[in-house]
Amino acid sequence: MAAKPASASVDSLDLDPAFALHRGGKIEVRSTVSVRDADDLSLAYTPGVARVCTAIADTPALAQDYTWVSNVVAVVTDGTAVLGLGDIGPSAAMPVMEGKALLFKEFANVDAVPLCLDCTDVDAIVETVVRLAPSFGGVNLEDISAPRCFEVEDRLRELLDIPVFHDDQHGTAIVTLAALQNAARLTGRPLGDLRAVVAGAGASGVAVTRILLEAGIGDIAVSDSKGMIYQGREDLNPVKEALARDTNRAGRTGSTEEALAGADVFVGLSGSTLSEQAIASMAPDAIVFALSNPTPEVHPEVAARHAKVVATGRSDFPNQINNVLAFPGVFRGALDVRATAITENMKVAAAGALADVVGDELSATYIIPSPFDERVAPAVSAAVAAQAKTDGVARR
């Protein structure tokens, strides 16, 4: 069958409000100065610009003061793990990256440029980002499939002296930790007394596990599609081998549902399905974070029959674990002090600040603030900036 003309297809798509909103893209570049006459032109461009260029050539650090670099982030993807859509390629990933740039600007006044790379090789991604890095004050990695995403981030952090942050990992981890801190407070238990099970050993599952370990979780075990991850299990890649060494002290070897018996916390990041019986088998005052989108591992109304606190990744249920609560403020704080990196302590500080926004309003249906709470980004950015100074990665 012959393909329909592109114009007819586009016209019909515009009947959908999502397509209508996206027509022409969601972001643009705007100038911050006016060019009204020859004098303005001579300052904004030649010959005035040459004086600024010469000064930066002599003192490269001046680029932070006299260009947009100090307030701009590259949003980088290869399109291999986009939302719940999977490997859809760089062109199809652009609407998501534009959206990310939009959120940076709307929530923290950070300028961001979406960069969808037509390559999936780790060496090629790293080389490309390193070559582009002088144009940016930070790099936000997005929707790069595991386990390559771990190597890409690790190598870029070694090679660059600007913040590198894989939001799928660390944004999710920060918000999850903040929500869990408040859920633990609500149920009267310290993190150190909790036993958690994390379903999913991809980018977000690994990062959530790591930040919970950093924050002092009592015990934590992780599962993948083949069951619990434990030392001695064959078929583990290096990332999962490291998890096996640092988690699952009891050596659980069964399924996720078997491991949930008596557990205090479930964090779902796998897209799998849990039975109501598995939730019912958890400890009293259980905490269930069923975060897979668009379909949680267990329906929140079912989980609420047995759990004290339930959270999802969806906006149509209470307690949404949404990365937008983290990444704008994290980069705002890092850029404000011209940080050379985003440390683990900075992530934990961000989570603590986010949790504190809830304050005395804490309840089973309010353990994490709304993305539209205007207190969020300032609180997170202040905590990140302060911790950067404490950690010695701030340059101002």
C-alpha 172/C-alpha 28 separation (Å) is 27
Is there a contact between 244 and 233 (Cβ–Cβ < 8 Å)?
yes
Preceding omega of 294 cis (within 30 degrees of 0): yes
Distances from the Cα of 101 to the Cαs of 10, 235, 273, 370, in angstroms?
A: 24, 38, 32, 19
C-alpha 190/C-alpha 347 separation (Å) is 19
Told to judge if 100 belongs to the known catalytic residues of this protein, a careful annotator would answer: yes
Strands 307-312 and 164-166, bridge-based pairing:
unpaired
Any idea how long the chain is? 396
CB atoms under 10 Å from CB of 306, counted, come to 18
Question: Is 109 annotated as a binding-site member?
Answer: no
Helix axes 203-215, 167-186, angle to 10 degrees: 50
Told to judge if 26 belongs to the known catalytic residues of this protein, a careful annotator would answer: no
Question: Is 336 annotated as a binding-site member?
Answer: no
C-alpha 257/C-alpha 277 separation (Å) is 9
Alpha helices in 14-47 (DSSP H): 17-22, 38-44
Question: Is 40 annotated as a binding-site member?
Answer: no
Question: Is 234 annotated as a binding-site member?
Answer: no
Question: Is 142 annotated as a binding-site member?
Answer: yes
Q: Choose, from 4, 66, 100, 366, the residue flagged as catalytic.
A: 100
Residue type, 62: L
> Quick one: which of 254, 100, 265 has its CA closest to 180?
265
Task: Output DSSP code: residue 282.
Answer: S
- For residue 108, give both structure tokens: 């923290």
C-alpha 241/C-alpha 263 separation (Å) is 23
Binding site residues for a divalent metal cation, as ranges? Answer: 142-143, 168
List binding-site positions for (S)-malate. Answer: 293, 322
Residues placed in the known binding site = 142-143, 168, 293, 322
Q: Catalytic site residues?
A: 45, 100
